[in-house]
Structure 1
Amino acid sequence: MTKPTCLVKPVSLTKITGRYLVHQESLPKLPVPPLNQTCERYLSILEPIVDPEALKHTNRLVEEFQLPGGVGERLQKSLERRASRLPNWLSDWWLNTAYLDYRLPVVVHSSPGVVLPRLEFTDSQDQIRFTAKLIAGVLDFKSMVDNETLPVEYLHGKPLCMNQYYQILSSCRIPGIKKDSVVNHALSTDPPTHIIVVHKYQDGRALTENELYIQLEKIWNTFPQPNEEPIGILTSNHRDRWGKAYTNLLKDKTNMISVQEIQRSIFTVCLDAPMPQVSNEMYHTQAAVQMLHGGGSQWNSGNRWFDKTLQFIIGEDGTCGVIYEHAPAEGPPIVALIDHVVEYTKKSEMIYTPTVLHPMPRKLHFNITPEILKDIEEAKENMNTLANDLDVRVVVFCYFGKNVPKSYKMSPDAFIQMALQLAYYRLYKLYCATYESASLRMFRLGRTDTIRSASTDSAHFVQAMDDPAMQNPEKVRLLERAVRAHRAYTDMAIQGQAIDRHLLGLKLQAIEDSLAIPKIFMDTSYVKANHYKLSTSQVPAKTDCVMCFGPVVPDGYGVCYNPMETHINFAVSAFNSCADTNATRLASALQEALLDMRSLLDQTLKSKL
């Protein structure tokens, strides 16, 4: 790992000091939904996924929970008081519950990857040249952050919270024994001015693109041999084990200095060795594997620092993408940065001009004791087990894109979600709790809530779709109704009126108030409702890319998609250790469902024209 010289552009005269703060303070606070509304909607989302007897029992618990003067009302009032005194009643709880308290490895279980379009490199110079442009593009984006000139984003005419954009550069997750933390060094009195380049296990004015190229070339040519041990693979381990290894690692002063340089860096660039050659059909799938975990210790998993918020990966074979640590941000800000960088790299070729002679990039050194070596070997073994267990399939669905649902006046996202419900039902003959991420960025420090894609309306459509006794017009009617219901739930969620974060808040409030956990949270229905066998996300981008992530439960799937105008990029994941799941099988069923739904609409609605 080597550290180049100063990269940060000076603050511009166009800096709009205080613009970020003024914008943030003008945003509304996240509301606390009415208790009876959440209880009623909670029961409705259980209908397709819970059997009738269990639902009767849950109904009784929910009635008891919301009795006047009861525990539900008491917790609701406590939560409303919390909301009145904090900028966002949920954000700290969510950061801790979803990320920092989570002890499974961030690799696969938490950190998403992004597969970018494949590049054509004729030699290592091409790889270095593109990397220099990419670094310059990220730093160009950073200058907008530093100067507070990032364009404010809007949804339905309302401004969105921009906080996550200010968290993704110069930040890093720090391991702990029982809980992690996140540090954003951009907020320090001495913000970082360097990046880390990981190659084979890397004061003053900013470097030009040409100078970046020269520094990268020095790294490539001067440090051709890998370190004896891939120290970065420690970051892939179970968080408690990594926390213990981290404490041990930092006992050595040299190690502590090197680790701090990595943590303080603006971002990380990973110059990867080529992965095994595969067919063109399987290229995107292998690229997803490389982004998510690097392929195992024998390939590129040691060429990472998985705690770093942003890692750009550029392989010798032209594979390119990103892996990011999820705690500071959701996918949309990451993709917005990527869109900016990709456009930047398309600018005219570098102009080679005489440059100032810069010092050599500084190699980061580690002293590997027998105890640290043992930790590395354990991390390698666990990483390889996890890599072998992950089952991924990326598909470029080329038959149509968001143009077709739009032509029938349907939400493309809702249309795809109904196709997912149909595909899953065809494989398993049942419905499952389905998570789709909804942005809460209309509110200050907003993160996400859950869109519940499995509904009574989706179940009615799915049942009808393959029923030979059902006429096509009725199937279309049920599809349209399911799409509208999904769209309505989505709108409700982004307005802060969904049920999942509210229920979580009530549960966490009980813990904070030292009360017994209410019975509705100990109920099997609640457990089933939160066992997401389908964990999904739409992450649209201007770039022809796709985000990918692992399943959130051992017997489930992770599904991410980017609907382009005339095609759709899908990434489906599962675990090989579960005999009931298969990523390729679900990907095939999803494609078939999309084609069948289009055929249904074409045959039924076009015939009326």
Structure 2
Amino acid sequence: MPLTVHYVLAMMLWSSLPKLPVPPLKQTCDRYLAALEPIVDSEMLKNTQELVKEFQAQGGVGDRLQKGLEHRSRKTDNWVGCSMDRFNFPKVEQLNCHIQFCITTSPVLDLSFGFVVSTLQVCVLCCSETLPIEYLGGKMLCMNQYYQVLCSCRIPGIKSDSVVNYALNKRPPSHITVVHNYQFFVLDVYNSDGTTLTVDQLYIQLEKIWNSSLQTNKEPIGILTSNHRNSWGKAYANLIKDKTNKESVRAIQKSIFTVCLDAPMPRVSDEMYRTRAAVQMLHGGGSRWNSGNRWFDKTLQFIIGEDGTCGVIYEHAPAEGPPIVALIDHVVEYTKKSEMVRTPMVPLPMPKKLRFNITPEIKRDIEEAKQNMNIMVHDLDMKVIVFSHFGKNVPKSYKMSPDAFIQVALQLAYYRTYKRCCATYESASLRMFKLGRTDTIRSATSDSANFVKTMDDPVKQNTEKVALLEKAVKAHRAYTDMAIRGQAIDRHLLGLKLQAIEDLSALPDIFMDTSFAVANHYNLSTSQVPAKTDCVMCFGPVVPDGYGVCYNPMEEHINFAVSAFNSCADTNAARMVQALEDALVDMKTLLDQTPKAKL
């Protein structure tokens, strides 16, 4: 399993990728002020303009910080760095993302070995030199994230976390972990000659695990990983003091990935099924259900419910969504194949059950994690829908970017609900650059604000509204292009801020300004996750009074997942979903009813 060798070869190939540029300071400052225009009042903007002018003055603080970043860029492959693993997020729904899809025609074990086999095929592609390089607009993309998904895990710390990729060890992992009824097992998936187990062998091994764990384990050790990162860091240090516990935890952390065989959830109406399935994938439903049937720190976990509902939950620190989506597309294609005929084989040993010694202190930590998880479960407000009126086909028929069209609809939905514009985050891939992760597409622009404020004005003519809509869509498309070329503002501002923390005794005023806080308070945190598979991804809001919005635009429909917090009286996922549906329909109607709109 020479993944280490191939990783080195791949990195040599990707060394030809350009480094992420450090944008010019004046350019970022100008674009920062432009981004503030639709979301702060005139008095705040005027004050910030003075601070920015002082910050970017020649020989000033900003100039010194910029030079520090440029020096860092010359010394490193990526000056931003993959620093997400250094931060301790307090909530599971902020830390993890999930992709949920449904295959209800196969028994749970059939689905399980289908997942295992197809994912191992990807693993083999990583190990050999056959993982296809991806391109965007004819430019090669960095494939590093694919090599971070398998065999990796987030490791809790007292002050901060780290991410470890065990595939780069001299002896990479050759096992997966399987959890059923809160009990973890090690399942070796490679033979001594380096070949993977056959489908028949995997099925029988999974069947052994299933049959030996029919009784629910009393202590859901996995729920510890759902707790607040600081609490989990302390509990983790205590947990691994015991040698048996440490060995069991290491086996989970080092596994290629985890398969979670979940108990059935309570039945709900067809209308609520998608939403129930989504939250089941995201957090497991609470301590009474499947939240203990996880190891939330594990980068990749396949979840298979007894009702055939399937999904993936992935820990966000090592990678973004695209590699996971590509993996899901491969998995789904494999599960569509006809059943293979099982043949006789040499008996394999029983998969090893991982043991944990539960002390009274660990028991208290588990109870605390249960309580906190149940609070989170009740606080998360989620709504998943299929918008069936149209899909990518309609924006494309008007020569508009589907993503930009949906983002403008989100701006309209939010404005109609709250009578204001808000800071909006959409992820943009930086994979054109070496070790690139993401930057921010700021969807709230002056052009989108002009459109949403005009859309419902009965005095304005439709032709004017259409012109403003087209301008808003083009502005979003332009910002997206700018972001993927490494010229957006947010990673640059973050880099300058971190440089200031490293170099200076006090932060510059620009980072202490109220406008900066408003700009980074994302009431709308959004992401497009396009997939061949008819699936949806979801995550929680990033601020207490915000929404998390994820969408997968298919040709003739759009899958949406919208989240909020019940603890905030001002947010409501179902209300936002309805506002979003209305906005999309109204924008299409506007285009349809306006002469010359259709090109």
Q: TM-score if structure 2 supplies the norm length?
A: 0.97
Segments of 5+ residues of structure 1 without an aligned counterpart are 1-9
Quick check: 1:114 aligned with 2:104? Answer: no
Q: Provide the rounded CA distance (Å) in 2 between the counterparts of 1:143 and 1:558.
A: 35
What is the one-letter code of the residue matched to 1:147?
A: S
Local SS of the residue matching 2:287: coil
Q: Which residue of 2 aligns with 1:44?
A: 34
Quick check: 1:321 aligned with 2:311? Answer: yes
Segments of 5+ residues of structure 2 without an aligned counterpart are 186-190
Match of 2:176 among 195, 198, 207: 195
What is the one-letter code of the residue matched to 2:125?
A: M
Local SS of the residue matching 1:196: strand
Q: Which residue of 1 aligns with 2:160?
A: 179
Quick check: 1:164 aligned with 2:145? Answer: yes
Q: Provide the rounded CA distance (Å) in 1 between the counterparts of 2:9 and 2:548.
A: 38
Deviations 1:164-200, CA, capped at 9 Å, x for gaps: 0000000000001110011100000111100010000
Query: Is the 8 Å Cα contact of residues 6 and 126 (structure 2) preserved in structure 1?
Result: no
Q: Provide the rounded CA distance (Å) in 1 between the counterparts of 2:8 and 2:58.
A: 46
Query: Is the 8 Å Cα contact of residues 537 and 561 (structure 1) preserved in structure 2?
Result: yes
Deviations 1:247-290, CA, capped at 9 Å, x for gaps: 11111111111101000100000000111111111111011101
Q: Provide the rounded CA distance (Å) in 2 between the counterparts of 1:25 and 1:168.
A: 20
Match of 1:242 among 215, 224, 232: 232
Q: Provide the rounded CA distance (Å) in 1 between the counterparts of 2:466 and 2:179.
A: 53
Query: Is the 8 Å Cα contact of residues 529 and 537 (structure 2) preserved in structure 1?
Result: yes
Deviations 1:63-93, CA, capped at 9 Å, x for gaps: 000111100111111110000110000014x
Comparing 319-328 and 19-28, the one that deviates more? 19-28
Deviations 1:483-509, CA, capped at 9 Å, x for gaps: 000000000000000001101100100
Query: Is the 8 Å Cα contact of residues 17 and 147 (structure 1) preserved in structure 2?
Result: no
Q: Provide the rounded CA distance (Å) in 2 between the counterparts of 1:303 and 1:461.
A: 47
Quick check: 1:233 aligned with 2:223? Answer: yes
Post-superposition offset of 1:139: 0.1
Q: Which residue of 2 aligns with 1:356?
A: 346
Distance 1:118 1:585, change over 3 A: farther
Q: Which residue of 1 aligns with 2:188?
A: none
Q: Provide the rounded CA distance (Å) in 2 between the counterparts of 1:460 and 1:377.
A: 51
Local SS of the residue matching 2:313: strand
Local SS of the residue matching 1:116: strand
Q: Provide the rounded CA distance (Å) in 1 between the counterparts of 2:410 and 2:55.
A: 34
Q: Provide the rounded CA distance (Å) in 2 between the counterparts of 1:288 and 1:445.
A: 31
Deviations 1:99-130, CA, capped at 9 Å, x for gaps: 4222413x112210111124234xxxx21012
Q: Provide the rounded CA distance (Å) in 2 between the counterparts of 1:44 and 1:608.
A: 30
Q: Provide the rounded CA distance (Å) in 1 between the counterparts of 2:508 and 2:393.
A: 47
Q: Which residue of 2 aligns with 1:508?
A: 498
Listed as ranges, the matches of 1:52-451 within 5 Å are: 52-92=42-82, 95=83, 98-105=84-91, 107-121=92-106, 126-201=107-182, 202=185, 204=192, 205-451=195-441
Query: Is the 8 Å Cα contact of residues 141 and 341 (structure 1) preserved in structure 2?
Result: no
Query: Is the 8 Å Cα contact of residues 108 and 549 (structure 1) preserved in structure 2?
Result: yes
Query: Is the 8 Å Cα contact of residues 17 and 148 (structure 1) preserved in structure 2?
Result: no
Moved over 4 A (4+): 15-19, 606-609
Deviations 1:35-81, CA, capped at 9 Å, x for gaps: 00000000001001000001000000000001111001111111100
Percent identity over the alignment?
70
What is the one-letter code of the residue matched to 1:359?
A: P
Matched residues, number: 589
Quick check: 1:601 aligned with 2:586? Answer: no
Quick check: 1:486 aligned with 2:476? Answer: yes
CA RMSD of superposed structures (Å): 1.4
Local SS of the residue matching 1:109: helix
Q: Provide the rounded CA distance (Å) in 2 between the counterparts of 1:522 and 1:270.
A: 44
Query: Is the 8 Å Cα contact of residues 16 and 149 (structure 1) preserved in structure 2?
Result: no
Q: Provide the rounded CA distance (Å) in 1 between the counterparts of 2:14 and 2:562.
A: 36
Q: Provide the rounded CA distance (Å) in 2 between the counterparts of 1:35 and 1:11.
A: 44
What is the one-letter code of the residue matched to 1:47?
A: E
Q: TM-score if structure 1 supplies the norm length?
A: 0.95
Query: Is the 8 Å Cα contact of residues 274 and 315 (structure 1) preserved in structure 2?
Result: yes
Query: Is the 8 Å Cα contact of residues 592 and 598 (structure 2) preserved in structure 1?
Result: no
Query: Is the 8 Å Cα contact of residues 398 and 597 (structure 2) preserved in structure 1?
Result: no
Quick check: 1:33 aligned with 2:33? Answer: no
What is the one-letter code of the residue matched to 2:542?
A: V
Comparing 409-418 and 278-287, the one that deviates more? 278-287
